[in-house]
């Protein structure tokens, strides 16, 4: 049974070839185009490459850069590596989650924010650190400063 056509996947298959060895490249390129990898896309790739869906899920869940769900409009990443943790990283995380009324990795009801944690962002000299949308880096934060920065992103 043929599943609905997905042009973004077809472009990647054309680029990398209809081979199981191309799976990671196809998944990566598809995610770049769509933003995440929903089940329908994974089923389509499984059918096209003649790979079991469970094997594809195994790959997608093994690598942390693949996303099965759509991200919020703003993704806040808080570092909980040793330097950040010692200097209050967990307090920053808790303050942000409390302000947004979510738990880590949840998305606010309006789909505007999510707060994720990582073990290290490589900015130990600026601990504690948070990154917003993968590009705006803020360091040497207090809980109040983190909330003030968050509030700038809350303005419509």
pLDDT in tens, 56-77: 999 999 987 899 988 899 999 9
90 shares its domain with 145: yes
In a domain, 69, yes or no: no
Count of domains in the chain? 2
85 shares its domain with 143: yes
pLDDT digits (tens, 9 = 90+) for 95-135: 999 999 999 999 999 999 999 999 999 999 999 999 999 89
Residue 114 pLDDT: 95
126 shares its domain with 81: yes
31 shares its domain with 85: no
Q: Annotation-wise, does 79 bind a ligand?
A: yes
- Residue labelled with tokens 């809350």: 154
Q: How far apart are CA 154 and CA 90, in angstroms?
A: 22
Q: Per-residue confidence at 2, pLDDT binned at 50, 70, 90? A: very low
Q: Cα dihedral angle (118, 123, 126, 127), rounded to 10 degrees?
A: 30
Structural domain harbouring 28: 7-62
Distance of CA 156 to the CA centre of its chain: 23
As a whole number, mean pLDDT of residues 17-35 equals 93
In a domain, 108, yes or no: yes
Q: Measured between alpha carbons, how far apart are the two ends of the chain, in Å? A: 45
Beta bridge mates, 100: none
Residue 156 above 80 pLDDT?
no
Q: What CATH number is attached to the domain comprising 134?
A: 3.40.30.10
Residue 65 pLDDT: 85
In a domain, 2, yes or no: no
Q: Residues 56-71, buried b or exposed e (16+ Cβ, 10 A)?
A: bbeebeeeeebeeeeb
82 shares its domain with 134: yes
Residue 3 above 50 pLDDT?
no
Q: Annotation-wise, does 97 bind a ligand?
A: no
84 shares its domain with 140: yes
Q: Are 109 and 91 in contact (CB under 8 A)?
A: no
Comparison of pLDDT for 112 and 155, the residue scoring more? 112
81 shares its domain with 127: yes
Residue 63 pLDDT: 87
DSSP β-ladder status, 113-118 and 74-79: parallel
Does the pTM surpass 0.85? The reply is: no
Secondary structure (3-state) at 118: strand
Q: Annotation-wise, does 123 bind a ligand?
A: no
142 shares its domain with 84: yes
């Amino acid at each position: 049974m043929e599943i609905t056509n997905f042009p973004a996947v077809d472009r990647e298959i054309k680029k990398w070839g209809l081979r199981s060895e191309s799976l990671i490249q196809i998944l990566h390129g598809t995610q770049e185009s769509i933003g995440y990898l929903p089940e329908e896309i994974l089923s389509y790739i499984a059918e096209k490459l003649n790979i079991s869906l469970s094997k594809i899920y195994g790959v997608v869940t093994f690598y942390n850069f693949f996303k099965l769900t759509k991200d919020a409009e703003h993704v806040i990443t808080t570092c909980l590596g040793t330097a950040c943790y010692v200097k209050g990283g967990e307090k920053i995380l808790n303050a942000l989650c409390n302000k947004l009324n979510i738990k880590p990795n949840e998305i606010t009801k309006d789909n505007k924010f999510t707060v994720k944690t990582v073990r290290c962002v490589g900015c130990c000299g600026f601990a504690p650190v948070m990154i917003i949308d993968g590009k705006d880096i803020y360091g040497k934060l207090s809980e109040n400063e983190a909330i003030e920065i968050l509030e700038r992103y809350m303005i419509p």
